[in-house]
Amino acid sequence: MHEVSIMTEALRMAVDAAQADGAGRILKLRLRIGSLSGVVPESIRFAFDVVCHGTMAEGATLEIESVPAACWCATCAAEFECADFFSECPRCHNPSGELRRGRELEIAKVETS
Amino acid sequence: MCQECGCGNGGGDVKIGAHAHEQEHHHSHEHGHSHHDHGHAHSHAHGIKTLDLNRSLMEKNTLLAERNRGFFRAKKLLVLNVVSSPGSGKTTFIRETAAKLTGKLRVGVIVGDLATDNDAARLRTAGIPVIQITTGTVCHLDADMVSKAAAQLALDKLDVLVIENVGNLVCPADYDLGEDLRVVLLSTTEGEDKPLKYPPMFHSANIAVITKNDIANAAGFNRDLALINLQRVSHHAKIFELSAKTGDGMKAWLDYLVQQTKSV
């Protein structure tokens, strides 16, 4: 996967927001990553150190909030947690075609000073 | 890893800017309260503050992709994003699709590859208008590259724009290009479990095409198993089985495309 580009973009957004707010440093970055986003947290952490080097986020802490995937079952009109893309509803056993959560790749918060 | 991709380039620029800015702030900090020329920075310089962003990291590409989609719609173009592993037969499939539509629909192609313009040359020889994007180390096409490449094609003379993505079943899944239909190919020479191995890509496809059907037997291809796997992951996708080389099964696909162009 393209973890370095993803972290580069996360840093760009964080720096833009921090600078617009007049901050001098970024202390912490919080990302929200879905369990089916295809992004590997270990690679994200590695990429984070690489892209932050020499920027206002150098030495910052990275927090990763993982979002468990959930599918929508139209028959039961209810959500259920799923481990992959091809899950069936635990109640009615119909396959679900609608993933409601789990693909997130978001920047949630930035802590600055 | 696509360190050199579109969003990486933007980030690189920001990095330089951010560094300079950091020094600037260190400077103002050292001088204490007396030195500042903008009150806003000063008021936050000493406290820790949390900024809520809640934004998608794919936002930039998504916005550009939507811009592409609107632009293509205005041009009344049907746009396909064709994805697969390397060697699944994308170029032959696209060439035969364009050739067999001659007289019915005008097809143009944007081809993405890490290096060489061999695929573009193969299409050009067949008389198809084609633009090559050579991505270097980048493992996928993004909406910005497509926008720039499309500007070099005479779009007003086309009905269908086919984007041949870089042969890769991982990264292109995350990059919307502004297409109407995402077409994923699975050749009979690949494992029947490809859809299970690369679910994000197969799940995101609108159309799944089994290619190289003419050599299915020789390759020991288990059609039933492949269809079960496809229907499991790409349950909403329309499935075609064909051989671009022999033309077997192409008619159903071409009829479908002609039908689709009527709704754009």
Q: How many angstroms separate the CA of residue A24 from the nearest CA in chain B?
A: 5
Q: Which of A46-50, B20-24, B36-40, B44-48 has the lowest mean pLDDT?
A: B20-24
Tens-digit pLDDT profile for residues B49-103 = 999 999 999 999 999 999 999 999 999 999 999 999 999 999 999 999 999 999 9
Of A9, A36, A112, the CB nearest to B49: A112
pLDDT tens, N- to C-terminus, chain A (113 residues): 578 888 999 999 999 999 999 999 999 999 999 998 888 888 899 999 999 999 999 999 999 999 999 999 999 999 999 988 778 899 999 887 788 999 999 999 999 99
pLDDT value for B46? 61
List CB contacts of B151: < 8 A, sequence separation 6 or more: none
| CA-CA-CA-CA torsion sign (B127, B131, B135, B138) | negative
Q: Which residues of B touch A99 (CB under 8 A)?
A: 203
pLDDT value for B218? 97
| B51 with A17: Cβ contact below 8 A | yes
| A9 with B38: Cβ contact below 8 A | no
Model pTM? 0.81
Q: What chain B residue is nearest to A4 in terms of C-alpha separation?
A: B3
User: Quick one: pLDDT band at residue B132, thresholds 50, 70, 90?
Assistant: very high
Strands B238-241 and B49-56 turn out to be unpaired
Q: Which of B6-15, B98-107, B252-261 has the lowest mean pLDDT?
A: B6-15
Q: What chain A residue is nearest to B45 in terms of C-alpha separation?
A: A113
Binding-face residues of B in 189-208 toward A, CB within 8 A:
196, 199-200, 203
Of A86, A110, A112, the CB nearest to B232: A86
Tens-digit pLDDT profile for residues B151-174 = 999 999 999 999 999 999 998 999
Of A56, A95, A104, the CB nearest to B235: A95
- Please state, in angstroms and rounded to a whole number, the distance separating the CA atoms of residues A48 and A61: 9
- Please state, in angstroms and rounded to a whole number, the distance separating the CA atoms of residues B87 and B93: 11
What is the share, in percent, of chain B residues with pLDDT greater than 90? 72
Q: If you count residue pairs, one on A and one on B, with CB atoms under 8 Å apart, how many are there? A: 161
| A108 with B53: Cβ contact below 8 A | yes
pLDDT value for B138? 82
Reply yes or no on whether the pLDDT at B245 is more than 90: yes
- The phi and psi torsions of A99 (rounded to 5 degrees) equal -85, 120
pLDDT value for A2? 76
pLDDT value for B112? 93
Helix, strand, coil shares, percent, chain B, to 5: 45, 20, 35
Give the DSSP per-residue string, B33-77: GG--S-HHHHHHSSS-EEEEEEEETTHHHHHHHHHHHHHHHHTT-
